[in-house]
Amino acid sequence: MQNWIFSIFPNDNFVDLGLFQFGWEKCAPAHSFGPAARNHYLFHYVLSGTGTLMADDSKGVTQTYSIKSMQGFMIFPNQITTYVADHDLPWEYVWIEFDGLRVKSILDTIGLSLDKPVYHARNKNLRKDMANEMLYIARNKDASPFHLIGHLYLFLDYLMRSAADEQMESGGKLRDFYIHEALTYIEHNFQNDITIEDIASVCGLNRTYFGKIFKEALGKTPQEFLVNYRMLKAAELLKLTHLSIGDIGITVGYANQMHFSRAFKNCYGVSPREWRNQNRLPGISEDERG
């Protein structure tokens, strides 16, 4: 009988929330993984049994957590972790590796962090719904990417609602409102010559305070987020359209093609033309793409 399922998600075009790999395993006694670091967020939910997580906290100090059935643990990008199944009662777990522009703000709402990686549900029914979504994804690897991303959103919704406090602090609610306003403004105006002062002004905040709460919520400065968002949109256009490099630069807010190419290379490590050659879709010819 197969004791594990492992799948890699086949699509990389999702910006706000992306899926990378997922699976299920009924571990052998004392089965271990690590020490290792991940590039994205990786959440394990324990269906049965018990085990131990050893994870570096925000100061780089290794902490040890005993985790049992109906609990879970979050591994953060670049965090060094090792996890080991119990010798007598090894755990069975399901996992999802994901990432996206708004993941950090969701995890902040839940209260999961480098210093608090263990998931404890406050609502039994929502916890069951969350586990069912994870198992659905693990067992349906051949479903369409949009179908699986839909279930990833449901998983995150159940994760957030099952773990979050019944009432968030009013300060947290106000901060979330400001971040939502900022993200909406960026999404609608990234192609224009906007500044961080413009974004802060939309929220009615001074630049210094706005920059502070933005980085706390999303893990990036407003400038880093704006550039990354523009480069993600540029990558989509390079892959999916025939537009020239210069036109794509203008479309994502860069009137100067040299400035656009430099920003793109800083983000992706290669020029826009090289990236397009490596990622172009069938049917888009060199001549058409310019």
Per-residue CA distances from 53 to 6, 68, 84 (Å): 21, 11, 7
pTM to 2 decimal places: 0.61
pLDDT tens readout for residues 13-39:
555 788 999 999 999 999 999 899 999
Work out whether strand 50-56 and strand 18-26 pair parallel, antiparallel, or are unpaired: unpaired
pLDDT in tens, the chain (290 residues): 557 666 665 555 555 788 999 999 999 999 999 899 999 999 999 999 999 999 999 999 999 999 999 999 999 999 999 999 999 999 999 999 999 877 887 787 788 899 999 999 988 889 999 999 999 999 998 998 889 999 999 999 899 888 865 444 444 566 777 888 899 899 899 999 899 999 998 888 889 989 998 998 888 899 999 999 999 999 999 988 889 999 999 999 999 999 999 999 999 999 999 999 888 766 555 444 33
Predicted local distance difference test score (pLDDT) of residue 1: 53
Q: Which part of the chain is CATH 1.10.10.60? A: 171-289
Predicted local distance difference test score (pLDDT) of residue 22: 95
Predicted local distance difference test score (pLDDT) of residue 11: 57
18-26: strand order across its sheet: 4-8, 18-26, 92-99, 41-48, 72-75, 118-119
Q: Which part of the chain is CATH 2.60.120.280? A: 4-163
**Backbone CA torsion sign across 48, 50, 55, 58:** positive
Residues whose CB falls within 8 Å of the CB of residue 38, separated by 6 or more in sequence, listed in order: 75, 76, 77, 78, 79, 81, 97
Predicted local distance difference test score (pLDDT) of residue 218: 87
CATH 2.60.120.280 fits 4-163, yes or no: yes
Rg, the chain, Cα only: 21
Give the span between the Cα atoms of 46 and 92, in whole angstroms: 6
- The tokens describing 165, both together, are 């406090």
pLDDT tens readout for residues 131-188:
999 999 999 989 988 899 999 999 998 998 888 654 444 445 667 778 888 998 998 9
Task: State which fold the 171-289 domain adopts.
Answer: Arc Repressor Mutant, subunit A (1.10.10)
